[in-house]
Amino acid sequence: QLRLQESGPGLVKPSETLSLTCTVSGGSITSSSYYWGWIRQPPEKGLEWIGSIYYSGTTHYTPSLESRVTISVDTSKNQFSLRLSSVTAADTAVYYCARFLMSYGSGSYSPAQVDYWGQGTLVTVSS
């Protein structure tokens, strides 16, 4: 059974960089059929798609966060990571790592629906 587990600091100071890692077990991150990525949910609010990565390194980021976000992959450890720079209180949220299936349209593949989620980790931005 596939399992995704987030890890990283639960408290980050304003203006600093948020860093999280997702460890994948029960399956390989180098599978050709999936993207891997991050979704967040501020307290008592809805879901926000952050971005995704293919094991080869191809990334997709949501435009509103693109200037601050980096998603990377370490295939040797079966892990992928999120870095979000210059954080503010608005970045306080539960961060989920996720596995995305792929859709094919307009001549290219892109991340689609999420079939596996991590349990989520709360990151609070506060001094």
Partner 1 sequence: DIRMTQSPSTLSASVGDRVTITCRASQSISSWLAWYQQKPGKAPKLLIYKASILESGVPSRFSGSGSGTEFTLTISSLQPDDFATYYCQQYSGYSTFGQGTKVEIK
117 within 8 A of 101, measured Cβ to Cβ = no
49 binds partner 1 (CB under 8 A): yes
Q: Minimum distance from CB of 60 to partner 1 (Å)? A: 7
10 Å Cβ neighbour count for 95?
Answer: 23
Task: Check residue 123 for interaction with partner 1 (CB under 8 A).
Answer: no
Residue 109 interacting with partner 1 (CB under 8 A): no
Pairing assessment for the beta strands 11-12 and 121-125 based on DSSP bridges: parallel
> 70: which strand partners?
83
Residue among 10, 33, 43, 46 that touches partner 1 (CB under 8 A)? 46
User: At a CB cut-off of 8 Å and minimum separation 6, what does 101 contact?
Assistant: 33, 34, 35, 111, 112, 113, 114, 115
CB of 119 to partner 1, least distance (A): 6
124 touches partner 1 (CB under 8 A):
no
Residue 103 binds partner 1 (CB under 8 A): yes
Site residues (vs partner 1, CB under 8 A)? 46-49, 60, 62-64, 96, 101, 103, 105, 110-115, 117-120
